Structure 1
Amino acid sequence: MTLLISPRTQDIGFTVKRLLPSRLRQRVGPFIFVDHMGPAQFEPGTTAGDVRQHPHIGLATVTYLFSGAMMHKDSLGVHQRIEPGAINLMTAGSGIVHSERLPEDVREQNTVVEGMQLWLALPTEVEDCEPSFAHYGAEEIPSVNLATLSAQVLIGKAFDVESPVKTASVTTYIDFALGAGAKYVPNFPQQELAIYVAQGNVTVNGEEVPEFHLAVLSENDVIETVSGARILLLGGEPLVGERYIHWNFVSSSRDKLKAAGERWTNGGFAMVPGETDWIPLPV
């Protein structure tokens, strides 16, 4: 283990634990943003937890829920409900606008909403690509069950299975349920890797990784748990070049970030059909 990153609490309409970007490290492989959302419940008849329409460039968002549901709408006209176990992959490229809202049934039933929101920085050669959206249902995501662990291979290849989720660069994202006494050694040559402990406690080479912390791994690190845990393995091949972040924008160019902000302020992005409220560019 080369680095242990503690969570920072942020309020985006509900509480999230933010791991990346960190002052200690900006990204792991293509992952440049890692939020653990919730768990949270929302009052019926309110808009608490809704994220109004806002723009992105130069990245792909990956949404994965543990519980509850969210409704995605974007400027391409996509209207998609996401539920636990599914993957939403929205590639912003040259620019996209989207909103994320809580379905009414989730509010009415006081359902707990919890999950992961991540961003993948795009390779420089495709960071200005046409925007796109893809949804993969939970039934499409391959799973593996071994003696002391089970895994959902969300993105990439592992345990002789391959996820159908297509990304712009080599990416690994796996949801592990570790049983008591589990031991696991990741083997993904040429990739940068980290684990996020979503529940429970694990050790890496005997060193404790507490709940809600992100541990950046070294080659041949041994991950173990005594009583069981839920961890997310994430990473991929390193991207070439610098990446800059401003608000919801990621780019290899500071000038592109500034231009994107001006474009949003001046109404230059296509908006989500049927929606009128939006989040202003932070001052």
Structure 2
Amino acid sequence: MAASPSTIAAPELYSHPARRASLGEGLWVSRLLPSRQQRMVGAWCFADHFGPSPVPPGKKAMDVAPHPHTGLQTVTWLLDGELLHNDSLGSRSIIRPGELNLMTAGHGISHAEETPPEHSNNLHGLQLWLALPDNQRNCEPSFQHHRELPQLDEDGSRLQVFIGSLGELYSPAQVFSPVVAAEISLQAGAGTRLPLNADWEYALIIVEGELQVTGTQQSLGTEALHYLAPGAQQLDLVSDTAARAILIGGAPFTEAIVMWWNFVGRSAEDITQARADWQAGTRFGTVTAYRGERLPAPELSGRPRASR
């Protein structure tokens, strides 16, 4: 959305550094949520940025064995490369840039994600989680794949909405909280104005280049979550060089959640039971299309605590 002069004061974003986290098999990611400074952004409770990662011939950029989820929705969004999704419902999907994988765990599901054997040697993207509200967290699991998503190209900028809505763009994906997720792409010297809901909180994840907030000295770079508290009606961004970013946001999530490993619950007992069910081989089904062993749950030391 093209930016034009504005008399509205520019909002201030607070930058929280990412931390490096390992997913095993030499795969490292930048973990942006949760952090000590920011536990959630709306219903968004988890954000990993992986890549760009060139891979030697014969190796896989990603090979995450079957693992469980409860109480959340997983969002996979690629910027480069391909990923193969298999789950315990029998869903099988290859996701490419500009497409959306949305898995609703509900009461329990398991899945695996890996680079297809025939794919090229680069991978770049994000894994995001939405905490399900209490009245939906034990729903039946499901999977959605969307190839066609709304986008707007205007004056050197592109906006593609893959969750929720922004301006006149509406994603077809089914979610259970008032939230948004969108990819913003700017050519060198271009700018954009993002219409915001003043009652929501937002965050920007820069995945390529740098962005500047118009009317301020703020420069937003990679390896950080740039948080915007409720109150802003719009956000004007410009870039001197080509840049890409992911915007996430939503109404503040008022329920306290407990998050441990791949589970989101409301109590330590929820987490303990989910772990026991996974170890016992019940509740989460089997990813029959994956060739290999599933991931065992880590040891549960201490009592999981509410994160918000």
- The TM tier, using the shorter chain, reads over 0.9
Aligned residue number for residue 118 of structure 1? 128
Aligned residue number for residue 144 of structure 1? 152
Any idea what the Cα deviations from partners look like across 1:231-276, whole Å, max 9, x if unmatched? 1110112222111111011112221111101111111131112445
**What is the RMSD of the two structures over their aligned residues, measured on CA atoms?**
1.7
Any idea what the Cα deviations from partners look like across 1:211-249, whole Å, max 9, x if unmatched? 232111141454333334211110112222111111011
Instruction: For 1:43 and 1:181, locate their aligned partners in 2 and report how far apart those are by CA, in whole Å.
Output: 35
Matched, 1:238 2:252: yes
The equivalent position to 2:185 in structure 1, one of 177, 187, 207, is 177
What are the within-5 Å matches in structure 2 for residues 73-84 of structure 1? 73-84=86-97
Aligned residue number for residue 9 of structure 1? 20
Aligned residue number for residue 273 of structure 1? 288
The equivalent position to 1:23 in structure 2, one of 7, 14, 36, is 36
Instruction: For 1:102 and 1:208, locate their aligned partners in 2 and report how far apart those are by CA, in whole Å.
Output: 34
Aligned residue number for residue 237 of structure 2? 223
Query: So what's the TM-score if we normalise by structure 1?
Result: 0.92
Aligned residue number for residue 72 of structure 2? 59
Unaligned runs of 5+ in 1: none
> Does the 8 Å contact 2:181/2:248 carry over to 1?
yes
Secondary structure of 2:295 counterpart: coil
Instruction: For 2:250 and 2:107, locate their aligned partners in 1 and report how far apart those are by CA, in whole Å.
Output: 23
Q: CA deviation at 1:90?
A: 0.2
Aligned residue number for residue 204 of structure 2? 195
The equivalent position to 1:250 in structure 2, one of 264, 268, 283, is 264
Any idea what the Cα deviations from partners look like across 1:125-162, whole Å, max 9, x if unmatched? 1011110000001xx11110122421111112223121
> Does the 8 Å contact 2:100/2:146 carry over to 1?
yes
Instruction: For 1:259 and 1:247, locate their aligned partners in 2 and report how far apart those are by CA, in whole Å.
Output: 13
Query: Which amino acid in structure 2 is aligned with residue 122 of structure 1?
Result: L
Secondary structure of 1:124 counterpart: coil
> Does the 8 Å contact 1:123/1:240 carry over to 2?
no
Query: Which amino acid in structure 2 is aligned with residue 91 of structure 1?
Result: T
Instruction: For 1:129 and 1:181, locate their aligned partners in 2 and report how far apart those are by CA, in whole Å.
Output: 43
Secondary structure of 1:258 counterpart: helix
Segment of structure 1 superposing worse, 96-105 or 238-247:
238-247
Aligned residue number for residue 218 of structure 2? 207
Instruction: For 2:162 and 2:22, locate their aligned partners in 1 and report how far apart those are by CA, in whole Å.
Output: 27
Q: CA deviation at 1:46?
A: 4.4
Q: How many residues align?
A: 278
Instruction: For 2:165 and 2:146, locate their aligned partners in 1 and report how far apart those are by CA, in whole Å.
Output: 16
> Does the 8 Å contact 2:68/2:108 carry over to 1?
yes
Aligned residue number for residue 154 of structure 1? 162
Relative to structure 1, the CA distance from residue 213 to residue 47 in structure 2 (aligned partners, 3 Å threshold; closer, same or farther) is closer
Any idea what the Cα deviations from partners look like across 1:173-227, whole Å, max 9, x if unmatched? 1101123141424422322111111111123332222223211114145433333
Matched, 1:263 2:263: no
Query: Which amino acid in structure 1 is aligned with residue 293 of structure 2?
Result: D
Q: CA deviation at 1:47?
A: 5.3
> Does the 8 Å contact 1:199/1:212 carry over to 2?
no
> Does the 8 Å contact 1:4/1:216 carry over to 2?
yes
Segment of structure 1 superposing worse, 25-34 or 228-237:
228-237
Instruction: For 1:48 and 1:157, locate their aligned partners in 2 and report how far apart those are by CA, in whole Å.
Output: 32
Query: Which amino acid in structure 2 is aligned with residue 151 of structure 1?
Result: L
